[in-house]
Structure 1
Amino acid sequence: MTQILTNEAIHKKSPQEITALLYEACYTNLEKAIKEIENKQFIEANIYLQKASDIIERLGAGINYEAGIIADQLDSLYNYIADKIIEANYSKNIEVIREVLQVLSEIMTSWNQALRKNTDTQPKVIKRKVSVYDKMSIYE
């Protein structure tokens, strides 16, 4: 079942929830690409793989590198996924896409578990400062 989100609903989501939605959208696009390749619909497969690639790029751009080593590791995973999506798109290799789906599935599972736990260790004062900075940087 496809869930359509309105702009208002998206604006009510936390950044963490939006990240979860991006993971899900990337996964869905990769699954659709496999189906299109199986049906020899390579142009449509290309479109889905490009969408997945765009999502990974956006996820990478959103990494908070102040989070430490985990941010660096996540960046490496995103780069790996991006490279594999390009490889899969070039060769239309379903096995490469399945490999990406496996890695993405593990990231999604971990992210969703952390989201459910909702244990935020960052002090509220620092959050407010970061939030103000983020709001100001949007307009620069």
Structure 2
Amino acid sequence: MTQILTNEALHKKSPQEITALLYEACYNNLELAIKAIDDKEFTKANDFLQKANDIIYRLGGGINYEAGIVADQLDSIYNYMADQLIQANYTKNAELVKVVLNLLTEIMTAWNQAMKKNTDIQPKTIKQKANAYEQTSIYE
């Protein structure tokens, strides 16, 4: 089910909730792309794959590299997914899209479980450094 958010409702979401929404939107676009490829509607498939790839790009841009190796690994996965979607779009190969969909499903499921637990194990000093960076970068 597609849900449309107003700007006001979107601004009330936490960064974690926005990330969850991005995962959901990417998932929906991938499913629609697979259906469009199967139906030989290649123009629609192109649109859905481009949207999914844009979302993956945005997710990659939001990675906090202060988090350590997990952040680097997630970046590699996002890059792999983006490459696969470009290839899938070029060849209109639904199987490549399904590989990305499976990876995204695992990441999305883990993200949603982490949000439900809502425990933060990041050291306080790293948070302070990240917050200081965010505050100064906003005004530069």
Assess same fold via TM > 0.5: yes
What's the TM-score once normalised by structure 1's chain length? 0.93
* Residue in structure 1 matched with residue 66 of structure 2 by the alignment: 66
* Residue in structure 2 matched with residue 85 of structure 1 by the alignment: 85
* Residue in structure 2 matched with residue 51 of structure 1 by the alignment: 51
Shift in CA distance, 67/86, structure 1 to aligned 2, threshold 3 Å: same
Distance across 2 between alignment mates of 1:83 and 1:76 = 11
Shift in Å, 1:128: 5.1
Distance across 1 between alignment mates of 2:84 and 2:122 = 34
Q: Which runs of 4+ in 1 moved over 6 A?
A: none
What's the TM-score once normalised by structure 2's chain length? 0.93
Distance across 1 between alignment mates of 2:4 and 2:128 = 31
How do residues 25-40 of structure 1 correspond to structure 2 at under 5 angstroms? 25-40=25-40
Distance across 2 between alignment mates of 1:129 and 1:75 = 21
Structure 1 unmatched runs, 5+: none
How do residues 1-140 of structure 1 correspond to structure 2 at under 5 angstroms? 1-122=1-122, 127=127, 130-140=130-140
Structure 2 unmatched runs, 5+: none
Distance across 2 between alignment mates of 1:131 and 1:114 = 21
* CA displacement, residues 40-93 of structure 1 (integer Å, 9 cap, x when unaligned): 111111011000000011111111111001001101110110010001000000
Shift in CA distance, 80/122, structure 1 to aligned 2, threshold 3 Å: same
* CA displacement, residues 112-133 of structure 1 (integer Å, 9 cap, x when unaligned): 1111100012355753553343
Distance across 2 between alignment mates of 1:135 and 1:10 = 21
Identity %, equivalent residues:
71
Shift in CA distance, 75/126, structure 1 to aligned 2, threshold 3 Å: closer
